[in-house]
Chains A and B, each alone.
Chain A
Amino acid sequence: MRTVFAALVLSLLALAAGAVEPGEMLDDPVLEERAREISKGLRCLVCQNQSIDESDAELARDLRLLVRQRLTAGDGNQQVIDYVVSRYGDFVLLMPPLKGATYVLWFGPAVIAGLGILAVILFFRRRQRTPPAAPPPLSADEKRRLRALLDKDAE
């Protein structure tokens, strides 16, 4: 059991390591950390659902190197990201930016959930406020049938 657990933990560690090869890393740990952070937010355009930090694709590697080159040249994080976006568009960002065209994407689900909750609340409130109307009294005919049934049970 313990070995299985250890194996699981180790395999998770392997996942966290990403695809960065030792030769790619920068000597300066601060810059390298920034490069990793930027890479995690950039989409690999070959495999599309991986970041360039995780992807083994050659284009991803070249993008990682480009990120590092730009950082070494003195670019800020946002400058590096802006450059890549200027080449590949917003699609390259794993986190879609918040702007006019993406408001629906960002707030749509919350708005729809809010409307749903509101509808449920209104529904229950209305039910509470209007107690069910008293049923109409039985007609003479119904009364007779009821008595007949009750009498039958009593026997």
Chain B
Amino acid sequence: MNKRLLFLLPLAVFVVLAVYFAIGLTRDPSALPSVLIDQKVPDFELPPIKGHERGLTSEDLKGQVSLVNIFGSWCIACQVEHPFLMKIKGENRVPLYGVDWIEKTPDDGPNWLKKKGDPFTLIGDDPNSKAAIAFGVYGAPETFIIDENGVIRYKQVGPMNDKIWEETIWPIIRELRKRGQKDAR
């Protein structure tokens, strides 16, 4: 009897591996875990984009829960996401900061925003990936949720939409705000 079972062992191993690989195939290889979750926002200081007065620094991200969105006028997924960002701005629920990443010319970002609307409270220009690398960004758009102490709490890879917002982003923001109020008392 035992010997018979031994013959089934390769089949059992195969089934286990097949299940593992099948699960692996359904996962998106470009969605990598961030090592920066629960770490302080890296120190950075970005100049303003052309035509704007203020840039963006890590200091701006302290004091309240905020979102940092890495975008570029060259990035197709950012175009898809843009109307949603405008909607968030319209609802005025949370400050949204922008990092304008590796534009071909200094005019590209400002022109894009002029044409489509500017959803950002402040924007920093990042032509050499200084902030992008500090944030561990590898594609646009990426959005970070920063708590009021300037700690990174969540990273969204790829464009946000209503579903992601309602199911993930907004609950985290609400939770962080609740926690912040408790600490203040």
* Residues in chain A within 8 A of chain B (CB atoms): 45-46, 48, 58-59, 62-63, 65-66, 84-89, 91
Q: Is the interface of B mostly helix, strand, loop or mixed?
A: loop
Measured between beta carbons, the chain A residues less than 8 angstroms from B129 are 58-59, 62-63, 66
Q: Most chain-A Cβ atoms within 10 A of its Cβ — which of B42, B136, B139?
A: B136
A46 lies within 8 A of B133 (CB): no
B34 within 8 A of A: yes
A48-B29, A87-B134 known; A62+B128 contact, CB < 8 A: yes
A63 to B129, CA, bound (A): 8
Measured between beta carbons, the chain A residues less than 8 angstroms from B24 are none
A86 to B133, CA, bound (A): 10
A45-B138, A46-B139, A86-B35 known; A63+B133 contact, CB < 8 A: yes
* Residues in chain B within 8 A of chain A (CB atoms): 29-30, 32-36, 42, 102, 128-129, 132-139
Contact partner of A88 (CB less than 8 A), chosen from B29, B42, B136, is B136
A58 lies within 8 A of B102 (CB): yes
A89 lies within 8 A of B133 (CB): no
A63-B129, A65-B128 known; A87+B135 contact, CB < 8 A: yes
B138 lies within 8 A of A59 (CB): yes
A88 to B32, CA, bound (A): 9
Question: B39 — nearest CB in chain A belongs to which residue?
Answer: A86
Measured between beta carbons, the chain A residues less than 8 angstroms from B34 are 89
Measured between beta carbons, the chain A residues less than 8 angstroms from B133 are 59, 62-63, 66, 84, 87
A84 to B132, CA, bound (A): 12
B35 lies within 8 A of A46 (CB): no
With both chains docked as a complex, state the minimum distance between the C-beta of B178 and any C-beta of chain A, in angstroms. Answer: 29
A130 to B137, CA, bound (A): 65
Instruction: With A59-B102, A66-B129, A66-B133 given, name 14 new contacts (CB 8 A).
Output: A46-B138, A48-B29, A48-B30, A58-B102, A59-B132, A59-B137, A59-B138, A62-B128, A62-B132, A84-B133, A85-B35, A86-B35, A88-B35, A88-B138
B33 lies within 8 A of A89 (CB): yes
Q: Most chain-B Cβ atoms within 10 A of its Cβ — which of A46, A62, A86?
A: A62
